[in-house]
């Protein structure tokens, strides 16, 4: 799909899928070698494959996918099985956050599709239930961005979430229903402030999805982050290419400052806009999210795998390799893999990363790195 720009010329809309996350809050399912975006957490397809299908619903232009070089074979196989063989895979030698990743994708998009290309930036590890609503919002964002504006997707907040960043909506933009100037970017608030945001109705979750004109983006980064812009250009220009991968130059890419696109660009420019997205979005950042998104029984229990549940309420119970029996418990997360079992209260799941930190400090890195297999 190519959207029509205001001048009547076709505007190639290039999906840019960012697949560099580690998903430590979903340990022991998510591991360094098989992070959460590569796992089938909510169905038969992985979160990455679901993202690819949403991107295809928006645009017929092949996606650009930026991922860790250590995941290249899993990513390539998931692209193939999703019918997305035409996508270009750009390999990061190290993680440098989202801004450098998007910058190298912008160079690739301009080379492949010309100066009018727009980038639809999508994290690979999110869930969106209503694809049609997402397509409508993406079309509106493309029209709103044109060739000179950055657009964010403001997720309609349904609860006072302290784990998300927020966008504060400003003045409405004429001619674009539900679109507004961005008045402010807000870091993760405490509960009291988040409740105020929900009551006020002017704040939306920042889902990390953006639409940029590719040429405009690089021009802005050249002014705001010149070292990053130069490193990204050199990493892309000096990349090794073969039939399967674009291997970014390691020396140049490692030399880039590490920064998110929010901090490097969005929070520092005037005139950025947001379109409202009400499509059942979640970043699947914790086991509570999996419980909320799963198919629960009448007692609020989500069961995945070989589960014996009796007298339980509001639990997420998952067994990947053997029977898990749970009796008379409430508000628990129980996750079994071949080499580890996690038991946590639903209110403590944001602290799973502390388990990861402890295992790393103790040198038990195999439990963080290797994907568990049946014994």
Least confident span in 18-22, 89-93, 134-138, 224-228: 18-22
* Mean pLDDT, the chain, integer: 94
pTM, entire model = 0.93
Residue 374 lies in a domain: no
Q: Are 64 and 15 a contacting pair, CB within 8 Å?
A: yes
Cβ(65)–Cβ(87) below 8 Å: yes
Q: Tell whether the model's pLDDT for residue 126 goes beyond 70.
A: yes
The verdict on residue 177 lying in a domain is: yes
CA distances from 8 to 93, 143, 173, 295, 356 (A): 40, 11, 21, 45, 52
Residues 276 and 309 in one domain: no
Total Cβ atoms within 10 A of residue 241: 10
Residues 230 and 251 in one domain: yes
Predicted local distance difference test score (pLDDT) of residue 2: 42
List, for residues 257-309, the tens digit of each pLDDT value: 999 999 999 999 999 999 999 999 999 989 999 999 999 999 999 999 999 99
Structurally, how many domains does the chain consist of? 2
Evaluate whether 215 touches 114 at the Cβ level (below 8 Å): no
141 within a domain of the structure (yes/no): yes
- State residue 221's pLDDT score: 98
Flag whether pLDDT at 168 surpasses 80.
yes
Q: Which residue has the tokens 């390999």?
A: 91
Residue 354 domain boundaries: 288-369
Residues 303 and 58: their CA atoms lie apart, in Å, by: 33
Q: Are 127 and 190 members of one domain?
A: yes
Do residues 180 and 255 both lie within one domain? yes
**Distance of alpha carbon 224 from its chain centroid, rounded?**
24
Same domain, 166 and 314: no
Sorting pLDDT into bands at 50, 70 and 90, what band is 350?
A: confident
Examine residue 375 and state whether it is found in any structural domain, yes or no: no
Residues 277 and 295 in one domain: no
Is 356 inside any structural domain? yes
Q: What percent of the chain has pLDDT over 70?
A: 97
Q: Are residues 146 and 270 in the same domain?
A: yes
Final residue in a domain of this structure, among 241, 265, 282: 282
The pLDDT tens digits for 127-161 are: 999 999 999 999 999 999 999 999 999 999 989 98
| 278 and 131 belong to one structural domain | yes
Same-domain pairing of 217 and 297 = no
Both 292 and 235 in one domain: the answer is no
149 part of a folded domain: yes
| Partners of 332 in the β-ladder | 345
- pLDDT at residue 7 greater than cutoff 50: no
Report pLDDT for 373.
57
Q: Are residues 213 and 353 in the same domain?
A: no
Query: Are residues 236 and 309 located together in one domain of the fold?
Result: no
């Amino acid at each position: 799909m190519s959207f029509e720009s205001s001048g009547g010329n076709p505007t190639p809309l290039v999906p840019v899928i960012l697949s560099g996350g580690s998903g430590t809050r979903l340990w022991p399912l998510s591991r360094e070698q098989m992070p959460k975006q590569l796992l089938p957490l909510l169905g038969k397809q992985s979160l990455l494959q679901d993202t690819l299908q949403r991107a295809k619903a928006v645009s017929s232009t092949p996606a650009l996918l930026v991922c860790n070089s250590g995941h290249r074979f899993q990513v390539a196989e998931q692209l193939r099985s999703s019918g997305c063989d035409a996508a270009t895979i750009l390999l990061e030698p190290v993680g440098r956050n989202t801004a450098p990743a998007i910058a190298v994708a912008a160079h690739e998009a301009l080379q492949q599709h010309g100066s009018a290309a727009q980038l639809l930036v999508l994290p690979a590890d999110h869930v969106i239930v209503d694809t049609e609503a997402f397509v409508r919002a993406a079309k509106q964002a493309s029209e709103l961005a044109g060739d000179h504006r950055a657009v964010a997707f403001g997720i309609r907040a349904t609860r006072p979430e302290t784990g998300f960043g927020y966008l504060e909506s400003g003045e409405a933009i004429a001619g674009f229903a539900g679109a507004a100037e961005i008045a402010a970017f807000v870091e993760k608030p405490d509960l009291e402030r988040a409740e105020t945001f929900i009551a006020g109705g002017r704040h939306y979750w920042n889902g990390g999805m953006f639409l940029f004109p590719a040429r405009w983006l690089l021009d802005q980064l050249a002014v705001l982050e010149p070292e990053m812009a130069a490193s990204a250009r050199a990493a892309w220009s000096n990349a090794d290419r073969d039939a399967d991968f674009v291997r970014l130059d390691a020396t140049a890419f490692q030399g880039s400052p590490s920064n998110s696109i929010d901090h490097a660009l969005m929070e520092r420019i005037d005139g950025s806009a947001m379109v409202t997205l009400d499509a059942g979005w979640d970043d699947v950042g914790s086991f509570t999210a999996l419980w909320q998104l799963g198919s629960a029984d009448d007692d609020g229990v989500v069961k995945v795998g070989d589960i014996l549940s009796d007298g339980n309420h509001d639990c997420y119970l998952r067994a990947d390799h053997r029977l898990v029996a749970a009796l008379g418990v409430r508000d628990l997360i129980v996750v079994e893999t071949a080499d580890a079992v996690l038991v946590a209260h639903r209110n403590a799941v944001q602290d799973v990363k502390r388990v990861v930190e402890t295992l790393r400090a103790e040198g038990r890195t195999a439990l963080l790195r290797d994907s568990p297999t049946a014994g």
